[in-house]
Amino acid sequence: MLSSTRDPCHRLSRETFGLLCLLASAALFSIMAFFVQKASKHLPSTELVCIRAVFQGGLTLFGMSILPAKSDAQGSKGRALIKFPFGGTPEIRRVVLARGAVGGFGFVVYYYTMSALPLGDAVALVSLKSILTVICGWLFLGEALKPTHLIAAFSSVTGAMLIARPTFLFGVDEDWHGAALQKARPLGYFTAMLGACCGTAVFLLIRRSGKLGVHTLQLMISWAMFGIMFSVLFGKFLCGPGRLMGDIDGGEWRLLDSKEVWWDVFAVCILGSGAHFFMNYAVRIAPAGLSSIVKSSEMVWAYIWQVLLFHQVPSGLTVVGVLMICGSLVTIAVQKMFDEKSMAAMSAGEGTRLVEGNREKEYTTGDEEEVDVEMHEHRIIETGSNYEGMRPAGSGSSLTALLS
């Protein structure tokens, strides 16, 4: 009976497995970021996102063409998912399309923020989505809000700020912030907060879709569609010399000019699609608030790779920030272990009470049956006694047959 709630690993609850998948997603995203940095030197970031969205959309459509819907919520049960790419009911389609639209818009906001603010300011403000998601998950999805969740969220955000060292908290450091201060624009602080809200909305929509029974591939195709749409809008019409947002995206779109760049782009597509699959799958089955905190481990993974692969020595503040994010993850893990032990104890107690209740019912039923038999025999005997005075001679065999 426990296998239905401990899927797909019998030793882990469904939510815990989802959080582990999200941890794997964060690791893949952090590796992808390295190849994004390399590829972005040769082509605009919006073009890179468009290529990745096309690649992911192609893989997703192939998967949807061979995988059947498991329920009517995903389409027509037993038929290929591609027949109903955004779900089987109007409510589900609204949620799936909203997830893609908010994710695509958040992408535009994110890239503008990164171009308009120093990197530390942008990362610190966007990281506020962890706290927002914990609170909004409680308000709109009815998720549990425990003191440990708030402690983990604040620890995660504080760690991110120590790593990013935003100017509004740590002042200006020319060696750290460099020329980024020269291009800082006040609008970037607004778009940073807007980006945090978009990130929160994405987690809530994915979690909501999971409760409605949406397939992971339906969420991925929605993002791919809007990712292509917004990257083209952003890269071809809004950004560039003389355009509305200026030349903030690294120039015009162009063809790739070397095999090395092609391999970098291919790595971005593979790692990004895998990370995106794990993220959408995980947030469907795990609480949105906890998922957003675990997602912040991307910064921890990034610094692990920098130390192990690139032999860069982090500063003291960076080490403290990484430890605080790790502390938030440990807090979540300990809370989950405690919750699962409590649930297991409650389940065992309910099972014991159920067995005892069945036994009592059996005993009670047995006693009642004995009483019923005795009363039935007593009524028969009384009936026989009354009948004895009235029956005609020779009819004793009828009473004998009745009693037998």
Confidence of residue 355 (pLDDT cuts 50, 70, 90): low
Residue 392 lies in a domain: no
Residue 219 lies in a domain: yes
- Predicted local distance difference test score (pLDDT) of residue 31: 92
How many Å separate Cα 225 from the centre of its chain? 20
C-beta separation of 113 from 190 below 8 A: no
Is pLDDT above 70 for 175? no
Residue 316 lies in a domain: no
Greatest mean pLDDT among 153-167, 253-267, 275-289: 275-289
CA pseudo-torsion sign 13, 14, 18, 21: positive
| Size of the chain, expressed as the number of residues it contains | 404
Is pLDDT above 80 for 88? yes
- Predicted local distance difference test score (pLDDT) of residue 2: 43
Distance CA 244, CA 198 (A): 22
Mean pLDDT of the chain: 82
Residue 354 lies in a domain: no
Summarize pLDDT for 115-169 with one digit per residue, the tens: 778 777 888 888 899 999 999 999 999 999 999 999 999 999 999 999 888 887 7
Residue 318 lies in a domain: no
C-beta separation of 332 from 61 below 8 A: no
Residue 372 lies in a domain: no
Residue 212 lies in a domain: yes
Residue 198 lies in a domain: yes
Q: How many domains does the chain have?
A: 1
Confidence of residue 184 (pLDDT cuts 50, 70, 90): low
Structure tokens at 146: 């425990």
Quote the domain boundaries for residue 282. 14-146+164-297
User: Could you give the C-alpha distances from 122 to 113, 165, 250, in angstroms and in order?
Assistant: 6, 10, 18
Write down the pTM of the prediction: 0.81
